[in-house]
Structure formats: structure tokens, C-alpha cells
A = this chain, B = another copy of it.
Amino acid sequence: MRRKVYVEGPRPEMRVPFTEVELSGGHDPVRLYDTSGPGSDPEAGLPPLRSGWSSGRTQMGFARSGIVTPEMEFAAIREGVSAEFVRAEIAAGRAVLPANRNHPESEPMVIGSKFLVKVNANIGTSAVTSSVAEEVDKLTWATRWGADTVMDLSTGPRIHETRESIIRNSPVPIGTVPIYQALEKVDGDPVKLTWELFRETILEQAEQGVDYMTIHAGVLLNYVPLAAERVTGIVSRGGSIMAAWCLAHHEESFLYTHFDELCQIFADYDITFSLGDGLRPGSIADANDEAQFAELRTLGELTHLAWRHDVQVMVEGPGHVPMHKIKENVDLQVELCGGAPFYTLGPLTTDIAPAYDHITSAIGAAMIGMFGTAMLCYVTPKEHLGLPNRDDVKAGMIAYKIAAHAADLAKGHPGAQTWDDALSAARFDFRWEDQFELALDPETARAYHDETLPAAPAKTAHFCSMCGPKFCSMKISHEIRARGMRDKSDEFLAGGGKVYVELEPRETVSRSLDH
């Protein structure tokens, strides 16, 4: 059985949520990271958890002054590390804690390569389809499946209203791409964009409580021709908008020339930069090309500029990258951006499977996570084809929670394997209900089992429909283990009955791994 539990923090009324999976037969319960929030009435919004917490500086400002904030304490408990460790990573720029002071409803979390790999879910209305209520429902649905942050990518009418509903109901940090709303204000003509209009849009969103914003300030005028001969040109919307602006005005983009002013605004609200990769590759053919890496160098410069203002920074990454070119992306980003958290869209490892890009990209996401990417932006089955519905949001989230957890295991994150071990032990013991409850998606695991063996006794059966009762390897394996135990018992007696003589080669096994 799953239930929500709270761990008391070091300050009054600080309660940090976890999902606790209770197991049968006296097995220790397993605690899982929980992003679902306290639940709310969409009309009323969530309670302002963080009201009265940090103010006056950014989390980075506090961290650099050696001050541990309540937000850092909260995030540290979720991660199972010390608050001081969280502080030190934020101070070094290697982690961010996105928390606009006007979004007190959010439960603090930390993004960085030394923490659990995070997953972002994109939602949002478009001119063609969907409503505000649907998007709030998708937000709740995404966090129920483990979304660590959510980006509202709405375009079309009612952008402001949609965003307000999303933020007031979001227990996780909310990100946006403000250039989308700015473009709506000039009727979709990129050439008419101005710094003043953009600034006004940023302030509007900052006041609402947006926690991080994608800013495509790395698309420089002289990079645009580098993308002209690509197979898929510029595939980032923000990137293409800024490229069009630069070409039309034949000058450097206002995002780049006004970057210092942007930093001041971001510092006022403690908004985190998500430096957008407007020139990311949109196909295998374009991966790791000069357009992409030229922009990354500029993002590195901007990262260091933002840090001078104590403003937190993430850096966005691709996109479409074949497996053998993934590691270079992380290595370069770490080098150029001083270890600022990398936040990548997939990458997709092949272009041939529209309708399954949650899978083509989960492969790349798991790998790039293993190499040190801090947050993965999910991709749904509808990528390249349409806007995701509820089912797509779930499919994308599941694929990416798998990728993130696989990366945590590969990085040796302390505690990550506890979950796998508990599930595998339940499987080996034929504790079917424990196995289902520990599954990333209990309902579907149970439903699949029910399809073949629906009767209740099958839930305690010592075999499954895959092998049937005669062929079950785990059943035979248990018999072997039981037999092994009898043999040990004989050995034990034959050996004089000394206790603490380890006869089984468990130690040998682990030692031999180091050969």
C-alpha cells in the first residue's frame, strides 16, 4: 500500500513529503521522492507553503554568504543529503533551486549533477487546440507521475490566465519561454519585437511567480548562417524567432545586448535562467555541429555573467544526437558553463520513429543523465506530430522517470538502488502485491498481470503466466536455495556447529567484481 508521509524539517511547520510503500511480511517500507504536492481545489489554489521563508536575496546570494535557507533544508531532506551540501553546490553554481518569491506554493527542490536526476514536463495551450482547465489537469497529472518541474509553453489566446491557474496550483517550479507571449503581443511578427516589450512581458510573468525562464540569448547574428545549410535548419521556436529578428535588423539580439538588465530583474524575483539552445540540432545529421557549439560557447559566457548578479543558471541542451556523440555534449557544457546544471531535451537517438519519440529519446536521456545532465525535459509520443493529451503526458513521464532512475543507478547515487532491490526481492519472493505497489505505475503492472491470471489466488501464486507452474525459474530457484540451505545445515553440523562461519560466497562474489 502507498501512502503519503511527512518528515519533520529542522524548523517549525516544515514537513517534507514522501510516498511510503508499505510491504507485506515485515519487510521494511520503501520511501520514494514525491512531487505530487498536497492536492488542491483548482479554484482556490495551493496553500502558500513558503510564505515567510527566504527573501531579500537569491538562493545563490544566500548560499554564497554561507547561509542555509529553509528552501535548502527542505530540498536536502528530499535528496537525503545535508543542507550544507545543497548550499555549497548552489554557491558553486553547480546546482539551482528555482523558487520565484511570488510562487510560495512550490515545494523546494534542487537541480544539479550531484543530486537525483530531475524530469521536466512541458504542457500548454496552442492556437490550434486545448483549454485552461485541461492544462491545469495536465499539470496535476504530470506531478502525480513524478514531474519535478513543469514548463507552460502556451501560445495563442489566454496565455496570462492559463499561466496564473497553473502557477497557483503548482507544487513544482514552473518554467516558461517568455518570447512566446511577447510574440503574441506583436501579432506573430518577430521583426516587431523590441526590448521594451520583452522586458514588460518578463515583468508580467515574474510578478505571477514563474520560477525559471528560457532565454535564447545565445543566438548571435553571425551564428545564423551556420544553421542555414543544415538538414533541419533551426528547430527551436525561440531560436528561430530571434534568428529572424537578428537578420531583419542586422544587429545583435536584444536578449544579448540587454542581458545585464535581465539579470537584475531575475535577481529581484530570484528567477533562474534556463539559457535556451536556440540552435540545437533537430536531426541526427545536424548533431554537434558548429552552429550548436558556437551558441554553447556564448551560453558559457552568459552563465558567468549571470553568476556575477547571484542569479541561478541552467543551460539547455539538445535535441537530436546519435549515441556516440552524446558524451561530447556534456563534457563541453561542463567545461564552457562552469558546471552549471545541464538541462536537455532528450536527446533523440534516431529520427526514424515519430509516434515513439518518448522511446528514441529515453535512450539518449538515460545516457546523457549518466554523463552528468541534471534535468531531462521529457518528450511525449506526440513530439513532431501534435500536442500531448493526458495519456501522452503519462507516457512521456514514465519513459523519463525510467531514464532518470537508470541514470541515478549508473551514477551510483546513494540510495537509488534500494528501490530496485526492494522490487526485485518482492519479485523473487512472489509477493505480487508488493511488486505492483513498488512499480513506477502500479495500476498498469497489476492490470497486465490480471489480463492472463485474473483470479485473486494468482496474486499469491508461486509462478506467473509467463512460465506456468512447472517451468517457473524462480520457483525452481527457491527449491535450489532451500536445498542449499539444507546442505549448509549439514555442513554446519559436520563443521562442528560453529556460528559465524560464512560458508556462502557472497563476499567472494563482490570481491571478484573488481578483477
Contacts and interface: CB of A to CB of B under 8 A. Distances in A.
A421 B231 contact: yes
Among A227, A435, A448, A449, which residue has the most Cβ atoms of chain B within 10 A?
A448
Given A324-B370, A453-B386, A424 B351 contact: yes
Contact of A234 (B235, B320, B477): B477
A350 interface: yes
Contact of A473 (B239, B386, B469, B504): B239
A66 to B, nearest CB: 35
Contacts of A510: 289
A410 interface: yes
B402 A360 contact: yes
B481 A228 contact: yes
Interface in A446-460: 447-449, 451-453
B350 A405 contact: yes
Contact of A226 (B224, B441, B451, B505): B505
Contacts of A409: 284, 322-324, 349-350
A445 interface: yes
Interface string A282-299: 111100111101000000
A241 interface: yes
A343 interface: no
A18 to B, nearest CB: 16
B363 A237 contact: no
Interface size class for chain A?
35 or more
Contact of A155 (B127, B441, B468): B468
Contacts of A110: none
A359 interface: yes
A88 interface: no
Interface of A: 126-129, 155-156, 180, 183, 188, 190, 224-229, 231-237, 239-241, 243-244, 247, 282-285, 288-291, 293, 320, 322-324, 349-356, 358-360, 362-363, 366-367, 370, 381-387, 389, 398-399, 401-403, 405-407, 409-412, 417, 419-421, 423-425, 427-428, 435-436, 438-441, 444-445, 447-449, 451-453, 464-474, 476-481, 483-484, 504-506, 508-510, 512-513
Given A226-B505, A322-B410, A349-B409, 15 more contacts: A126-B465, A224-B480, A228-B484, A233-B478, A244-B476, A283-B428, A284-B417, A285-B424, A290-B508, A322-B406, A355-B445, A355-B447, A356-B398, A359-B398, A384-B435
Q: In the A-B complex, list the 7 residue pairs whose CB atoms are closest, starting with the nearest.
A: A233-B477, A188-B470, A283-B424, A127-B468, A386-B452, A240-B476, A323-B410
28 contacts: A126-B471, A127-B469, A129-B465, A155-B471, A228-B480, A229-B505, A229-B506, A235-B474, A235-B477, A240-B476, A241-B473, A241-B476, A243-B477, A282-B428, A284-B421, A289-B513, A290-B513, A350-B405, A351-B427, A355-B445, A355-B448, A356-B399, A363-B363, A363-B406, A385-B445, A385-B449, A386-B452, A386-B466
